[in-house]
Amino acid sequence: MKNRTKRSASFHRGWMYVFLLLLRFFGAYAVNDNIDKVQVSLDPGKVYLNLDERNMSLEKLFRFVESHTEFRFFYDKKIVNDSKEVSVSRKRISLEKLLEEISVFADLRFKLVDKVISVNVKPEKSAGTAQAGINVAGQVISAGDGFPLPGVSVYVKGGTQGTMTDADGNYELEVPGTESILVYSYLGFGRVEETVGSRTVINVVMKEDIQQLDNVVVTALGIKREEKKLGYSVQRVSGDAVQEVKGVDVATSLTGKVAGLWIQNSTEFDQAPDIRLRGGSSNPLLVVDGVPYGNMSLREIAPDDIESMDVLKGATASALYGSRGSGGAIIITTKSGGNGITVNSNNMIFAGYLALPRVQHSYSAGIGGAYNSIDYVWGNKLDMGIMEEQWNPETKQMEVMELTSRGKNNFKNFLEPGFIANNNISFARSGEIGSVRTSLTHVYNKGQYPNLRLNRLNMNIVGKLKLGDDFELQGNVGYNRSTAPQTTGAGYGDQGFIYQILMWTGPEYDLKKYRDYWVVPNQQQNWHYKAWYDNPYLIAYEKLNGVERNMTNINLTSTYKAFTNAKITARVGYDFYSDETTRRNPPGIFSTRGWHANGMFSQGQNRGYSLNTDLLFNYSKKKITGDFDIDLTAGASMYKWEDQSLRSVTRNGLVVPGIYSLNNSVERPDVYTSRTRKQVNSLFGLASFAWNDAVFIDVTGRNDWSSSLPSSTRSFFYPSVAGSVLINELAELPEWTDLWKVRGSWTVSKKDLGVYATNVNYDLGIGAWDTYNTASYTNTIRNDEDVLPEVSRTWEIGTAAYLFGNRLSLDVAYYNIYNYDRQIYATIPASSGFTSILVNTDETRVRRGVEVTLNAGIIKKEDFSWDVAVNWAKTHQYYKDLDPVYSPDNLWTRPGGRVDNYTGREWLYDPQGNVIHNSGGLPVRSDYTSLFGHSDPDFIWGFTNSFTWKDFDFHLSFDGRVGGLLNNYSSYKMWDTGAHPDSDNKWRYDEVVNGNISYVGNGVQVASGSVTYDQYGRIIEDTRTYQPNETKVSYETYARRYGDGTFGVTDATFVKLREIAIGYTLPKSVSERWGLSRARISLTAQNVFLWAKDFRFADPDFNSDSDLTSPSQRFVGININLHIGHPDNSKQ
């Protein structure tokens, strides 16, 4: 069926349900035996056509009727394709008469509901001698909301018997026998087949089929629209895509599944992935069931509660959300309705490492080849019979012992197997006037370091209620609670375990023997080192950073049909968070560097809320004049948020060691508080126009009034325009072209200031002078009344094609984002009493990008299918205009140059590329900063495969990045500390064991001459001559200096096998014996395999550019899905 004859499932179902209710209460009359009609607004007997066609297919005939009347046809394509061609040569034939003749000729039955003509096969009339059949009855409902589906075609496969469901979704049909197969067909929903067997009641739940061409997506303000009408890029991810392999964060399962969505994951405990859309500087706006919450994140949403996710990629797509949507939006629709109980259990265990730091274990702690228990790992050679005074963790005293590599596996021995459990149970009930769904999810994550345990509880209740034909309510209440006794252990710092174990301590001690970490509880630790570093087990269990997070969200949406084609929607969304943190330091530890030497305890409380209210009026009218349709939306919104924080910390230690309480403070505890709030009021409008169901135009406008801007610039307006043209509706294309559209959009988005950015406020200091508190200004001038909002002007063009019966689809988008009136804090002379001032700069930038999405059904057989999805994206930002005062003054900051410059001080090289050494044999670093390359990847990509064979299914997804520089901080820092495995070589051995200084750096020395540079480091005059470097130097000195240069700057290209799932769905005959309507089990794996071009010791997918990253773990597990209730409703 051609695309123009289809309508979105939800739209069709809604108004057809209303009119069939009228049929139920007021009755229907028959035109004849083959046409059922509900007369609402247009009589087919008074609509006339002129036809002169021979051998015309029914599909072509139906399209002709649609193009010349206001009627639309709904039918199963198989029914029409199996019918004969017709020849009609009639002038001024009524539509009613035409349908009567077709009904007789093609054995079809038509049913008219307002302007919708449903087509079905004619029921077979039983002969007097025919064998009696079986009467089957039942109800058909929607899996999405649980409401009955009116007008569903129900017929016997391969036969002629058929009927349609009534206004309540009920049907009754006589079938030939137990072997009969009933086919349930409805536009926008996947076809369902049921074998009758011994059943006389067959209830069916139908699921929306997002593969159909009139794909409905959720856009800004929760408005559902057909994707073909949109002039901007939107990509949908089904809930199934994030429910099969469930880790701690939903975002991880999104990686590589949306073109242009860059997700940088984390190996660290309780750290959420960083999400960027089209290279934006902040996370995209999160909208849940139409509400753009201010505090909720993807972490607070259980994957089993997600029905679908629509990613609005550009500013045009999210223009109606204002500045909050300038970076795009992720629109989440949660599950609602259904019937029965569903249990989803996913448990994954540790199954090895993809990336693990590795160090040398041949040399002890110390420096200069000599052992010490203070710092560095440039000490003596181990396992050589050398005796040194060392700490004995068993006797807990200093003893003379041999220096051995007893702790060469210290870090691996310290690590613990990770574990993730993600379990959900949901209860759903649907009826004629509404539905309710309750979901409870528990997530448990055992971290890879001791004492890291996360417990997260999520509860979600969704309800819908229809009050008559004109009023509908929908509400949602959610609660999320997360607790962890310890959250730290990562990074370069005194509480990082890689920092403590691998970087700065040697392999001469066995960490396993230090699990008993006290000599005297709460006074003296049992530890090998006496300065700087602490027993890692003490850090894990005593130096705690605990957290308890509570998040509550509520939304209520009411929709009222004010009059024909018009509705009013009122929506309110509220979220509230309350986070409590506790920190404690035991007394006498070294890593505090003398701070809190007598112990410390602090308590913090952060709480706040966001409130979002919308009032919308919508008027939609088809055929308002000729072939023009119109859809108008106008509305107002208010967004308000407030944050408060309170922190108290003991002063000068604890009175009684080991008692962690503010009441145990030696002196009065210090108290710190803060409060911030903001409000934005808005008016907005959307006008959508359509011509002949082929050309679509959207125009939006929004005006914001922001409390964070000066009164002179507080009000600002931004418009957008978007258009889409269906080429297949305007031109004759090959039959295998289902849909081809081109689109384009233009928008202006603005960004206001942060809270108090223009208001002078005080900083309050505690006890600055003895016991007196102080108040002071900040060091930034903020009362600039001329500061304007930042502006981004975006235009986008794209095309999308659906081919070969939707077996192949391709979407390509190109965008250009021009940014001006950028806000910066400019440095000013200190004589002013301040250090900086907030201004708008004249520097402008432009970001360009390309996104490609390809979906293909490679194989479609009855028992086997293979589907692939490819996502590819590239984006870079460039300077367009420079500010003569505020733009950086260097060689690479220029119009047309990249913004993501990776710079540093490089080694000096001769014209042949050899490193220049000084007379002492050490490499010489340039005094000038130079450009190494760029940090953004050349492109990112994702590749997903899905296979099904009978009751088995197999899914795997790959993703990665190509190009872009990243600092491998782990590798770089290990050269400095002496822990790098490559430092275990002949030169180090010769130096430490034999006392020979034998290392000669590869490169040259300056023999004579000099060089002169300009201010940028470019050579003006160079008279230098060179000779080979032959100066021997300490290997330790050379390695520390050379490793401290550009050694860690690495190409971040990688390929990752992200997910694998192998599933099996039990046959109904088996699951029903156990009282289940559906049962499925699958084996899953996440973070499965990694190939990195240059990266060592760390995962570039997770790596921080300036910090130490924890090992990257592989997880494998099992996923079990059980459902009790209506069949096919198991994913409620």
Tokens for 293? 């919450």
Residue with tokens 């008559």: 468
Tokens for 330? 């992720």
b/e map 859-879, b = 16+ CB within 10 Å: eeeeeeebbebbbbbbbbbbb
Count the neighbouring beta carbons within 10 Å of the beta carbon of residue 1016. Answer: 12
Residues of the chain with confidence (pLDDT) below 50: 1-34, 36-41, 125-131, 210-213, 1127-1131
Residue with tokens 């809604």: 14
Distance in angstroms (rounded) separating the CA atoms of residues 1072 and 1042: 69
CA geometry: angle 395, 510, 493, nearest 5 deg: 110
Distance in angstroms (rounded) separating the CA atoms of residues 38 and 150: 14
Distance in angstroms (rounded) separating the CA atoms of residues 411 and 511: 8
CA geometry: angle 519, 520, 525, nearest 5 deg: 50
Q: Which residues contact 342 (CB under 8 A, 6 or more apart)?
A: 304, 424, 425, 426, 428, 1121, 1122, 1123, 1124, 1125, 1129, 1130, 1131, 1132
Residue type, 887: S
Q: Quick one: angle between helices 95-106 and 58-68, nearest 10?
A: 170
Distance in angstroms (rounded) separating the CA atoms of residues 1072 and 194: 15
At 783 the pLDDT is 56
CA geometry: angle 867, 871, 877, nearest 5 deg: 175
At 165 the pLDDT is 83
3-class DSSP state of 746? strand
At 27 the pLDDT is 31
CA 31 to chain centre: 54
Distance in angstroms (rounded) separating the CA atoms of residues 468 and 483: 44
**Residues facing residue 235 across a β-bridge:** 311
At 569 the pLDDT is 95
Contact 398, 419 (CB under 8 A): no
Contact 965, 933 (CB under 8 A): yes
Distance in angstroms (rounded) separating the CA atoms of residues 659 and 522: 9
Distance in angstroms (rounded) separating the CA atoms of residues 814 and 793: 14
**565 — alpha (psi -120 to 50), left (phi > 0) or beta?**
left
Query: Among 3.40.30.10, 2.40.50.200, 2.60.40.10, 2.40.50.140, what is the CATH number of 3-206?
Result: 2.60.40.10
**Which residue from 60, 37, 34 is spatially nearest to 47, judged by alpha carbons?**
37
Distance in angstroms (rounded) separating the CA atoms of residues 1081 and 1060: 14
At 518 the pLDDT is 95
> How much of the chain is helix, strand and coil, in % rounded to 5?
15, 50, 35
In whole angstroms, how far apart are CA 899 and each of 326, 847, 881, 893?
Answer: 20, 9, 12, 7
Distance in angstroms (rounded) separating the CA atoms of residues 459 and 452: 23
Distance in angstroms (rounded) separating the CA atoms of residues 144 and 339: 11
Q: Can you say whether the dihedral through the CA atoms of 290, 295, 297, 303 is positive or negative? A: negative
b/e map 124-160, b = 16+ CB within 10 Å: beeeeeeeebbebebbbbbbbbbbbbbbbbbbbeebe
CA geometry: angle 324, 330, 335, nearest 5 deg: 130
**Residues facing residue 794 across a β-bridge:** 747, 817
**Residues facing residue 206 across a β-bridge:** 142
b/e map 747-760, b = 16+ CB within 10 Å: bbbbbbbebebbee
Tokens for 996? 């020979």
Distance from the first to the final alpha carbon of the chain: 30
Distance in angstroms (rounded) separating the CA atoms of residues 408 and 406: 6
Distance in angstroms (rounded) separating the CA atoms of residues 369 and 364: 8
Distance in angstroms (rounded) separating the CA atoms of residues 209 and 934: 43
How many Cα atoms within 13 Å fall on the side-chain side of residue 853? 21
Distance in angstroms (rounded) separating the CA atoms of residues 78 and 84: 12
- Read off the pLDDT of residues 1074-1085 as tens digits, 9 standing for 90 and up: 888 889 999 999
Contact 827, 866 (CB under 8 A): no
Kindly report the CATH class assigned to 228-340. Answer: mainly beta
Contact 191, 183 (CB under 8 A): yes
Distance in angstroms (rounded) separating the CA atoms of residues 914 and 1126: 74
Residue with tokens 């002379």: 829
Torsion of CA 647, 648, 653, 658, to 10 degrees: -90
**Which residue from 544, 393, 559 is spatially nearest to 469, judged by alpha carbons?**
559
In the chain, what are the domain boundaries? 3-206, 228-340, 937-968+1048-1132
